[in-house]
């Protein structure tokens, strides 16, 4: 049975949209309406200076902006943030910091294309990074195989948007017993940044937690986790 989904234009789920498609199955062609994941640009500014424009699922953008700036080392904690202004008409988020730091005052203007499906970008100096040394963190907790299986089962149950569209990645922050924070996004890097942005804005420590992912774990994902203090 097909699950009914509200049209976002009519005030429903802004993460999805409906499109007319041509479905071909067993040599037969038919015109149907399909549910697809929505995609929108988000421009992140630091003290009114543009840092980057990301393509993302249009939900929890404040968490994404804070998490991206944290992952890139442009902010360290919530104390750095004075105010976050979200212009929804322009799809722009301006993060104002107490230090009034201007991008790229700390970092060179060069950037690295990551292995993300949407050609993710990092301003970190990946040429000098040694994953075998720079990304290692002492374990803060351990898990049994049954605890891991229980968390993965809960993780899969939460993947509602993926079941509707088949077009998103997911990331979750958990302790040994349950999932604490969960996000889905068209980009796995975005989903991870939303996790860390949520933790930063709500002052949630990651050091005794673990990160669950639906996608491949690349070195830049490991770098994000390392900066947050997550060891698993």
> What residue segments make up the domains of the chain, in order of their start?
8-37, 40-128, 145-228
CB 59 within 8 A of CB 15: yes
Per residue in 120-172, pLDDT (tens digit) is: 566 555 555 555 555 555 666 788 999 999 999 999 999 888 988 888 999 99
How far is residue 94 from each of residues 45, 73, 228, measured CA to CA in Å?
5, 16, 22
Please check the confidence at residue 44 and state whether its pLDDT lies above 70. yes
Compute the average pLDDT of residues 201-220: 90
Q: Choose the catalytic residue: 63, 117, 199, 206.
A: 117
Per residue in 61-79, pLDDT (tens digit) is: 999 999 999 999 999 999 9
Q: How confident is the model at residue 82 (pLDDT cuts 50, 70, 90)?
A: very high
* The predicted structure's pLDDT at residue 166: 85
In the numeric block, the tokens 């990092």 are attached to 122
Please check the confidence at residue 197 and state whether its pLDDT lies above 70. yes
* The predicted structure's pLDDT at residue 211: 94
Q: Provide the residue count of the chain.
A: 232
Residue by residue, DSSP assigns the chain as: -PPP---GGGTS-TTEEEEEEEEEETTEEEEEEEEEE--EEEEEEETTEEEEEEEE-SS-HHHHHHHHHHHTTS--SGGGEEEEEEETTTTEEEEEETT---TTSSS-S--EE-S-TT--EE-S-GGG--HHHHT----S----HHHHHHHHHHHHHT-HHHHHHS--EEEEEE-SS-EEEEEEESSHHHHHHHHHHHHHHTT---TT-EEEESS---HHHHHHHHHHT---
Backbone φ, ψ for residue 112 (5° rounding): -120, 130
Of 214, 213, 216, 211, the residue nearest 231 (C-alpha): 211
* The predicted structure's pLDDT at residue 229: 84
**Domain 40-128 classification at class level:** alpha beta
Please check the confidence at residue 1 and state whether its pLDDT lies above 50. no
Q: How confident is the model at residue 227 (pLDDT cuts 50, 70, 90)?
A: confident
* The predicted structure's pLDDT at residue 2: 38
Q: Is 203 left (phi over 0), alpha (psi -120 to 50) or beta?
A: left
* The predicted structure's pLDDT at residue 142: 81
Proportion of the chain above pLDDT 90, given as a percent: 53
Q: How confident is the model at residue 231 (pLDDT cuts 50, 70, 90)?
A: confident
In the numeric block, the tokens 């009034």 are attached to 100
Q: What does the longest C-alpha to C-alpha distance in the chain come to?
A: 63
Compute the average pLDDT of residues 37-44: 93
> Does 56 qualify as catalytic in the annotation?
no
- Least confident span in 9-23, 67-81, 170-184, 197-211: 9-23
User: Any idea which fold 145-228 has?
Assistant: Cytidine Deaminase; domain 2 (3.40.140)
């Amino acid at each position: 049975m097909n699950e009914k989904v509200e049209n976002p234009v009519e005030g429903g789920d802004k993460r999805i949209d409906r499109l007319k498609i041509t479905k071909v199955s067993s040599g037969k062609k038919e015109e149907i309406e399909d549910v697809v994941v929505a995609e929108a640009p988000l421009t992140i500014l630091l003290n009114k200076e543009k840092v980057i424009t990301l393509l993302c699922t249009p939900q929890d953008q404040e968490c994404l902006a804070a998490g991206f700036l944290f992952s890139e080392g442009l902010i360290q904690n919530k104390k750095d943030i004075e105010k976050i202004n979200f212009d929804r008409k322009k799809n722009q988020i301006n993060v104002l910091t107490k230090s009034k730091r201007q991008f790229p005052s700390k970092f060179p203007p060069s950037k690295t294309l990551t292995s993300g499906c949407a050609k993710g970008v990092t301003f970190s100096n990946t040429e000098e990074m040694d994953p075998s040394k720079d990304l290692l963190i002492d374990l803060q907790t351990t898990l049994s195989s049954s605890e891991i299986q229980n968390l993965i089962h809960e993780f899969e149950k939460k993947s509602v948007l993926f079941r509707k569209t088949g077009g998103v990645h997911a990331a979750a922050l958990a302790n040994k017993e349950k999932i604490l924070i969960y996000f889905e996004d068209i980009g796995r890097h975005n989903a991870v940044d939303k996790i860390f942005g949520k933790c930063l804005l709500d002052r949630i420590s990651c050091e005794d937690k673990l990160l669950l992912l639906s996608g491949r774990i690349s070195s830049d994902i490991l770098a994000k986790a390392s900066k947050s203090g997550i060891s698993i």
